[in-house]
Structure 1
């Protein structure tokens, strides 16, 4: 039986003004990947090569997840009026999370399309968030959010975020 080694590390990523820390654990066979690949070249260990490929693939996927950042919309002031410029200077990626903090008695968050964003209208079937501490994962491409309480979107309570 091959002994296992556990590797632990904390990956800190600073993007914008937020720092996300992720603790990852990897269990890796003590036989090195290069040794497994060498065995395959000699016609041995097809199962080991498959296992090595799966382990490397999982490592890549986990590292991509670790790269996601969390942003509080509006910063310390939260989701409120005149947050339109809040996105300036920030680079968002698909999978990043926007946190909307607000009083649910007086605001909400609605994920809308571009037309809904421009006209401050809620399209049929739009997702409405109303907890006051909503966390929304960004999709690749443009993402649009408004508050659909009367006059709020028109008062600047809307953001457009493009995620790479």
Structure 2
């Protein structure tokens, strides 16, 4: 199950190569969309059930193309969610809908979705979402996304990240 910092979501997908986001896959989606659109126009001249079927197929292709664009990033890479990950997002390009995978030992750490103030002060404010399973998949929302560990002293030791998703 995937969550956003605003609550759970049941859909997730994996895109293994973030740098190829708009290359072959987007071209394939565009070609499929054009093909189905042209077929729809042709078939709309008196074939009701075929038109309905084609509309559903076209919608499914478009939905697939949209969902397949999400990337999954493991926070801290092989080291996981631990101390001094504050610089981990540097040089990465995130998009809304991408997934951050947090791997950690829940006996020693957690993940808290916070706002800018919570991130700056290393304080968990009222209403913050606290994750404690050790295996979190959190979907990014457009804009700034902030995460800290609120175990005493952890955030202050660099166990926090700020990710901006476009």
Question: TM-score band (shorter)?
Answer: 0.7 to 0.9
**Comparing both structures, which one devotes a greater share of its residues to strand?**
1
Within 2, Cα distance between the matches of 1:46 and 1:161? 48
- How far apart, in 1, do the equivalents of 2:101 and 2:128 lie? 18
TM value normalised by structure 2: 0.75
Distance of 1:103 and 1:13 partners within structure 2: 25
Distance 2:52 2:18 in 1: 35
Normalized per residue, the structure richer in helix is 2
1:76 is displaced (CA, Å) by: 0.7
Match of 2:68 in 1: 66
Runs of 4+ aligned residues of structure 1 deviating over 4 Å after TM superposition are none
Cross-structure match for 2:42: 38
TM-score by length of 1: 0.75
| 2:125 is the counterpart of 1:117 | no
Where 2:87 maps in the other structure, the secondary structure is helix
C-alpha spacing 1:147/1:60, structure 2 compared with 1 (3 Å): same
Counterpart of 2:82 (choices 66, 71, 80) is: 80
Structure with bigger gyration radius: 1
Q: CA 1:109–1:47 in structure 2 vs 1: closer, same or farther (change >3 Å)? A: same
Count residues in correspondence.
Answer: 137
Structure 2 SS opposite 1:162: strand
Gaps in structure 1 of 5+ consecutive residues:
1-10, 17-31
CA RMSD after TM alignment: 2.0
Quote the Cα distance in structure 2 between the aligned partners of 1:101 and 1:12: 19
Equivalent-residue separation in structure 2 for 1:149 and 1:12 (angstroms): 32
The structure 2 residue matched to 1:15, chosen from 18, 30, 44, is 18
Partner of 1:6: none
